[in-house]
A and B are shown apart, each in its own frame.
Chain A
Amino acid sequence: MNYRSLRFRLIGYFAALLIATTLAFGAFTYTGLKRFLESTLEGALAHRAGQVAAMAGNIPREGEQAVAEEIEARYAPARNDRFVRVTRPDGPAIYLSNAPNDRSFDPAKIPPYRTPAAEGTRREALSDGSDILIVSRNSNGFRVEVGASLLPGERVLHRLLIALAAGLPVLAALAIGGGIVLVKRALQPVAEITRTAQDITLRHLDRRLPVLASGDEIANLSSALNGMIARLDDSFQHVARFTADASHELRTPLTIIRGELETLVFHGALPEDLRVALSSLLEEIEHLSRIVERLFALSRLDTGEAQSERVRVDLANLAETTAEQMCLLAEEKHIELICANEGQVEIEGDRARLKQIVVNLLDNAIKYTPEHGRVEMTVKTRDQSALLEVSDTGLGIPETALPHIFERFFRADDTHSRSTEGAGLGLSIVQSICHAHGGSISAANRSPAGCLLTVELPLARKA
């Protein structure tokens, strides 16, 4: 799984947000409920304390015993799980409620009040760890204390906590599951757009991305991208047309210059120095024509116009026979030309163009290898690709030049003479042919000397 994918991140954010919200909601509910329970209890206790205090006001008139009995009879604190204590100003208790039914506390063990005459609420810790909330009132010097255990409230809170803890993972799971489904549905068109966009190359600019009828952001994106592709297509067509026009415009004057010069050289009675000059001009025109031809060849390869035929070709055999035809070039420089192949390597393509790859690569290698060097060519199969490797023992390519050697008119060596005519386009043409065949070319230096050019082409499908 790609952790940086939009899908993963969206689901992550979504789940995190939902869990955080739930946690905040739980905490809010918990504290709110806790405060509510305590304040309700405190209110009830204060009310009761007021009532008991009123009764305690009757002690001088009715006597301690009667009032105690009346409190017991009217409020039955033990049955109501309440704590009631009435204390004389000098200390001893006039009334103390019995242990409550739920045995949550022992009234006898509740410590006496510490600050006399203080009215208010206090908490006393019980031996079992729970708290008891006590409200105190003063009445005619008697102190009235009414209390209740906080345990029942804590039990409710505890149950809420359990419910929250159990619910959260379920909620998170639901959130992630729902998120996956939602994001998947939302991103489905994006995946489709990506697939189609990958198929749109320079050769298929007439294709367009699918536009959903939903009218949503994704549909807008597809239409915007389609607009961009249309503009690309337009400008590319424009360039192609321009190249075709330029080709015509350049060729006609070149034809005339060449023709006129040839007429002079062939038929004119010329002084020798003029003949030499004209011959030199003819050589330059030949050179210029060749550059023009190659540029047009390149532009045709780019537009896919040159893809004339597609046949099965044994690359190993093609490389071998081509190398044989070129061995004399190597022999001239006493270069050892070795062709090492591992049996048939079938690919599909235009035979003449594929041969041009071999010719240009070998020519290049021989050109840049000093005398008595070695040029080696191998054709082999690796994975699903055919590999054509040409290595030499030449000077190699400067590291800074490596990324540029397939660029048009690039020369690794500026001092190299023009005698290697048109060499600035040879590798560009090879690269264009490779691309037209769905392949690629790369270059690397070898140690201790020389360079290695590797052409990778897709193998022919099994017949």
Chain B
Amino acid sequence: MRILLVEDEEKVARFVAIGLKAESFAVDIARSGLDGFNMAEGSDYDLVIVDLMLPELSGTELIRRLRIKKPALPIVVLTARDAIADKVLNFEAGADDYLTKPFAFAELLVRVKALLRRGSGNRSNTLRIADLEIDRITHQVRRQDKPVKLTSKEYSLLEYLASNPGRVLSRTMIIEHVWDESFESLTNIVDVYVRQLRAKIDEPFQQRLIHTMRGVGYYLSEVENP
């Protein structure tokens, strides 16, 4: 998988590239809008990450031009501008996703993977992590073949964690995914629900599946340090 990162801020480009490479992506970096457009047009990338404030050619204009040449190419916007008008403008230009700085790298990763998966249509109806089994259609959860009763919020939280196994999800990401933006100030609600979920999923069993990465968030994994 090859990703083009169009970002003029050197340090941001550096850590995003390191993080993506660690996830086995091939990453190229373009430092200006025009470079970005030429590189994206000339080579075959699976996904493009674009900053909005770019020299030579603005991110929005880059997206607009690229969309004409490559209608199917997933484009993620990465920007410090978070006004609703900016979001609308860039979605209209052809962006697929929009991430506001400062972002958690984990969130960028989840979104990138979601966009790459979208094309493949490979979505399993049953999620399995160790002896945990989640049926995405009936919303039934079993561990060691014993059914576990969850409330709908607990189920959504577990499904979100399980569909990104081993991936650390920040509280903000969990809130936006499981609740909605109105709860953004309420990160402690995530802690409460994770505690509740652990009591049902983990505590009765030997192996712990839900882990905490301090300062970052939660993840579901067979091993403690994936």
Partner pick for A326 among B80, B105, B189, CB 8 A cutoff:
B189
CA distance A263 to B82 in the complex (A): 24
Kindly list chain B residues whose C-beta atoms are within 8 Å of the C-beta of A257: 102
Tell me whether A355 and B215 are in contact in the complex, defined as CB-CB below 8 angstroms, given that A252-B80, A300-B83, A325-B153 are known contacts.
no
**Chain A 248-287 residues near chain B, CB threshold 8 A:** 248, 251-252, 254-260, 262-263, 265-267, 276, 278-283, 285-286
Partner pick for B196 among A254, A276, A296, A328, CB 8 A cutoff:
A328
Interface contacts beyond A258-B105, A265-B215: sample of 16 additional A-B pairs, CB < 8 Å, sorted by A: A244-B83, A248-B80, A251-B100, A251-B101, A252-B12, A252-B80, A255-B80, A257-B102, A262-B105, A279-B214, A282-B216, A289-B102, A293-B184, A306-B84, A328-B153, A328-B193
Let me know if B102 and A285 touch, CB within 8 A.
Answer: yes
Of B16, B80, B182, chain A has the most CB atoms within 10 Å of the CB of B182
| Interchain Cβ contacts under 8 Å between A and B, 6 examples | A254-B102, A255-B12, A280-B215, A328-B196, A352-B181, A356-B185
Kindly list chain A residues whose C-beta atoms are within 8 Å of the C-beta of B19: 259, 262-263, 266-267
Let me know if A359 and B182 touch, CB within 8 A.
Answer: yes
Let me know if B84 and A260 touch, CB within 8 A.
Answer: no
Nearest A residue to B100 via CB reads: A251
0/1 per residue, A340-365, Cβ < 8 Å to B? 00000000000011011011100100
The 8 closest A-B pairs by CB, nearest first: A282-B215, A259-B15, A279-B215, A251-B80, A279-B214, A355-B182, A254-B102, A255-B102
Let me know if A305 and B185 touch, CB within 8 A.
Answer: no
CA distance A322 to B179 in the complex (A): 10
**Cβ of B103 < 8 Å from any Cβ of A?**
yes
Kindly list chain A residues whose C-beta atoms are within 8 Å of the C-beta of B180: 352, 355
Kindly list chain B residues whose C-beta atoms are within 8 Å of the C-beta of A352: 180-182
**Cβ of A426 < 8 Å from any Cβ of B?**
yes
Let me know if A256 and B15 touch, CB within 8 A.
Answer: yes
Kindly list chain B residues whose C-beta atoms are within 8 Å of the C-beta of A358: 182
**Chain B 70-112 residues near chain A, CB threshold 8 A:** 80-85, 100-106
Nearest B residue to A351 via CB reads: B182
Tell me whether A359 and B22 are in contact in the complex, defined as CB-CB below 8 angstroms, given that A248-B81, A259-B15, A300-B83 are known contacts.
no
Kindly list chain B residues whose C-beta atoms are within 8 Å of the C-beta of A355: 180, 182
Let me know if A255 and B101 touch, CB within 8 A.
Answer: yes
**Chain A 274-331 residues near chain B, CB threshold 8 A:** 276, 278-283, 285-286, 289-290, 293-294, 296, 300, 305-306, 308, 322, 325-326, 328-329
0/1 per residue, A170-200, Cβ < 8 Å to B? 0000000000000000000000000000000
For residue B154, give the distance in angstroms from its CB to the closest CB of chain A.
9
**Cβ of B224 < 8 Å from any Cβ of A?**
no
**Cβ of B135 < 8 Å from any Cβ of A?**
no
CA distance A276 to B18 in the complex (A): 22
CA distance A281 to B214 in the complex (A): 10
**Cβ of A332 < 8 Å from any Cβ of B?**
yes
Give the interface residue-count category, chain B. 35 or more
**Chain B 149-177 residues near chain A, CB threshold 8 A:** 153, 168, 170-171
- Residue ranges of A at the interface with B (Cβ–Cβ < 8 Å): 244, 247-248, 251-252, 254-260, 262-263, 265-267, 276, 278-283, 285-286, 289-290, 293-294, 296, 300, 305-306, 308, 322, 325-326, 328-329, 332, 352-353, 355-356, 358-360, 363, 421-422, 426, 429
Let me know if B15 and A260 touch, CB within 8 A.
Answer: yes
Partner pick for A328 among B9, B183, B192, CB 8 A cutoff:
B192
Partner pick for A296 among B18, B82, B84, B181, CB 8 A cutoff:
B82
Let me know if A308 and B15 touch, CB within 8 A.
Answer: no
**Cβ of B207 < 8 Å from any Cβ of A?**
no
Nearest A residue to B212 via CB reads: A279
**Cβ of B146 < 8 Å from any Cβ of A?**
no
Kindly list chain B residues whose C-beta atoms are within 8 Å of the C-beta of A252: 9, 12, 80, 101
Let me know if B102 and A258 touch, CB within 8 A.
Answer: yes
Let me know if A267 and B214 touch, CB within 8 A.
Answer: no
Let me know if A265 and B213 touch, CB within 8 A.
Answer: yes
Let me know if A262 and B16 touch, CB within 8 A.
Answer: no
Let me know if B102 and A359 touch, CB within 8 A.
Answer: no
CA distance A260 to B18 in the complex (A): 9
Let me know if A262 and B12 touch, CB within 8 A.
Answer: no
Kindly list chain A residues whose C-beta atoms are within 8 Å of the C-beta of B183: 325, 359
For residue A362, give the distance in angstroms from its CB to the closest CB of chain B.
9
Kindly list chain A residues whose C-beta atoms are within 8 Å of the C-beta of B168: 266
**Cβ of B53 < 8 Å from any Cβ of A?**
yes
Partner pick for B18 among A244, A263, A278, A426, CB 8 A cutoff:
A263
Let me know if A421 and B187 touch, CB within 8 A.
Answer: yes
